[in-house]
Structure 1
Amino acid sequence: MELTRFITEDGVEVIVETGDDEPAIIPVARGADGIADAAATLDSGLDRITAVAGTAVRRLRAMAQRPDEITVELGVRLNASVGAVIARSESEGHLAVTLVWRSGNADTPDS
């Protein structure tokens, strides 16, 4: 187990348990308490994740048969060198999408 200190853009310190097997780990500074200091802010890492989610939702809303509900699920893993990354599920990146059409909607796929 590895502990990493992330700082938010508001200056709040967040300690996160990160795995020893993190991809793309580069040497990062360690404080006197033995906790690694992340190379990026938590905010900057999460900005990448929210950009992915936003793009997915925008593209799905543009479908010809627009769903009534869109759920986008991202597995997020915090990484000491890059902030936040989309976590893998098995051997692939993790992005689950659920689209819902309610009955009675004129734009449902059954229409």
Structure 2
Amino acid sequence: MKEVEEGRQTTLEAGQAFAKIASSAQQVAEQIQEVSAATEEMSASSEQVTASIMEISHTARESADSTRKVAAATQEQLASMEQITTAVESLNDMARTLDEVVRKFRL
């Protein structure tokens, strides 16, 4: 009878051990699901960050292109102003010469 009682006790302890193992396995499965959900969220966030970076990069390229266009237009305006300055100086020289010629006739 003692052997039967020991067998029963061993079986009972084995059952309890298996129950603990099953509980631990369930906890591990739940933790795996939580990690999986967190990984999916991180992946989605990563995709959003990548999209934002791409948009910023595109905007920066457009801004650089616009800046180059403004710089080119400014250079053109500067060249035009230099031409106007040269023309004004030439007209001033002509006006002085004409003034000198007119003075000769007045004397």
Shorter-chain TM band:
under 0.3
TM-score scaled by structure 1?
0.26
Q: Which has the higher contact order (CA 8 A, sep 6+)?
A: 1
TM-score scaled by structure 2?
0.27
Give the structure with the higher percent helix. Answer: 2
Give the structure with the higher percent strand. Answer: 1
Structure number with greater Rg is 2
